[in-house]
Amino acid sequence: MRLRNMIWIGLVLACGAGCSDFLDVQPKDKQSEKQLFSTRGGFYMAVNGIYNKVASTALYGKNLSYELVDVISKRYSPLQANTYLTALSSFDYADNSVQTGVSNTWTAAYNTILNCNVVLDNLEESDGILLTPEYRMLKGEMLALRAFLHFDMLRLFGPVYKNHPEAAAIPYNESARVSALPLLAADSVMHEKILRDLDEAESLLADSDPVIEGGPMASLENDQDVYLRYRQLRMNYYAVLALKARVYLYAGEQAKALAAARKLLTDARVDEYFPAVDPNKLLANQDNPDRVFSTEVLAGIYVKDRADIHSNYFSSEQAGNNYLHPRKNFVNMSLFAGETQDYRFQAWWRTASNESEGGYDFIKYEEIAQPAEKGETEYFYAVFMSLIRLSEVYYIAAESEPVLADKYAWLNKIRERRGLGALIVISEDDFMKRLRTEYLREFMGEGQIFFMYKRLYAAIPSDENGNDMNAYEAREEYYVLPLPSGEIANR
């Protein structure tokens, strides 16, 4: 109990760290768990603290977005002077610095899961504190977030599911107590735990999430109720549907993945609430373009210092030994070969100023100027990073369709949104090559590319390899990260 209280003190103190004005709810002192959950504001403070942990550098603010998982998917050619990044890029999971980084991610994920469980426990004792829709919304969010975090630990540390669904994978923590838990089979984690939590989350959010009637900026009460606004920063109803499609596809259940994807893509409100990025506001706007395509993001995180990501890692002039960049000529001659009219090439890549011809800087997270009359919705995308994109749902539908022409049809819908012409139907192999290319272009800096390769158990051919000119065959020792030594010691 003492350890649990210590964890909660740290969480409460984190609630105000890195928050924007519209989410800034700061504790006045080190409240006990009981005091914290005695008020409506206390619940939202605790939940806000959990989402801040999700955005930490050990999780989606770095390791599970643009750095660790992108480096091991061969997106970049790190500088030799950075031994940590070069070790990652060569799948050297025995390196001490790599082990530390991986362990930090594991610990942060399970600590955040533990805190989700504490909120869930206290929700069951919240009679009279929260309105019924709020109770259902928060419970749905915490269940979905618990499933989301476990799923990424499964995708990172679990076996190649396609080959060994029965193999031991990860623990699934449903308790608010700190304890050693057994490793469960990957199939059990997927079907008995993750999908169970997502089914319940969907049911709870379906009649309580303000995003359904009011859109991403919705509020249950009024526009002044900051607790219930900015649903894109929460595990909202639409994000849960997309996550279910993602999980089913990873499990190889394409019919169910397609059904979940269609539930989103045939909902007229989804097109209304999450419209395609406007090229006029993107390409013709040099001051504050929406490079993260925020209108299409179903769920994301708030990162106050997002511009530092660019200067610290992706700027050829500022990043120093941390500089992450693909090998020369990869971006223009391989990744976007023959299709440099793609909005993603035009908006996310710039010729590196201090590189010889063929070098590109990745500028998705570069700082943008504040509008002259800054409104909260206008500048929102300057501090926003994606966790789940609507485009992924199109890719899931495309891959899951049984008819080849329908596969291309879904893929062409996204290509149209990116300023590209329609592809003609050729073959299954051609389609999968095109689909992989879409993942490489769309999810750069967001961590999904590694998980795509692992799910397919696919080789990384030289023309998809941003690290060097080699081809890398699919190997389990590449795609299955070892459990942290501390976790193994507790077995």
Question: pLDDT per residue over 452-476, tens digit each?
Answer: 999 999 999 999 999 999 999 999 9
Q: Per residue in 218-237, pLDDT tens?
A: 554 454 466 777 899 999 99
Matching residue, tokens 């994109």: 389
pLDDT for residue 379: 73
Examine residue 366 and state whether it is found in any structural domain, yes or no.
no
Mean pLDDT of 378-384: 83
Give residue 330's Cα distance to chain centre: 25
Examine residue 359 and state whether it is found in any structural domain, yes or no.
no
User: Would the pLDDT of 304 be above 50?
Assistant: yes
Query: What's the CA gap between 397 and 42, in Å, rounded?
Result: 40
- The closest of 319, 312, 288, 239 to 54, measured between CA atoms, is 239
Beta bridge partners of 388: 299
User: Would the pLDDT of 79 be above 70?
Assistant: yes
Q: Per residue in 401-436, pLDDT tens?
A: 999 999 999 999 999 999 999 999 999 999 999 999
The structural domain count of the chain equals: 1
Examine residue 316 and state whether it is found in any structural domain, yes or no.
no
In this prediction, residue 375 has a pLDDT band, given cuts at 50, 70 and 90, of low
Mean pLDDT of 37-66: 95
User: Would the pLDDT of 6 be above 70?
Assistant: no
Examine residue 336 and state whether it is found in any structural domain, yes or no.
no
Query: What's the CA gap between 370 and 216, in Å, rounded?
Result: 21
* Range list of β-strands (E), 363-452: 384-389
Q: Per residue in 59-71, pLDDT tens?
A: 999 999 999 999 9
Distances (CA, A) of 180 to 105, 108, 173, 227, 491: 17, 16, 9, 34, 8
- pTM beyond 0.85: yes
pLDDT for residue 490: 56
User: Would the pLDDT of 377 be above 70?
Assistant: no
Identify the domain containing residue 258 by its residue range: 2-310+373-481
Query: What's the CA gap between 388 and 396, in Å, rounded?
Result: 12
Examine residue 330 and state whether it is found in any structural domain, yes or no.
no
CB-CB contact of 243 with 388 (8 Å): yes
Examine residue 325 and state whether it is found in any structural domain, yes or no.
no
pLDDT for residue 9: 38
Distances (CA, A) of 313 to 85, 308, 382: 11, 8, 17
Q: What's the CATH code of the domain at 177?
A: 1.25.40.390
In this structure, what token pair is assigned to residue 37?
């959950």
Examine residue 315 and state whether it is found in any structural domain, yes or no.
no
Examine residue 488 and state whether it is found in any structural domain, yes or no.
no
Dihedral pair phi/psi, residue 291, rounded to 5°: -70, -20
Of 157-166, 219-228, 386-395, 472-481, the poorest mean pLDDT is in 219-228
If one compares 11 and 184, the residue with the highest pLDDT of the two is 184
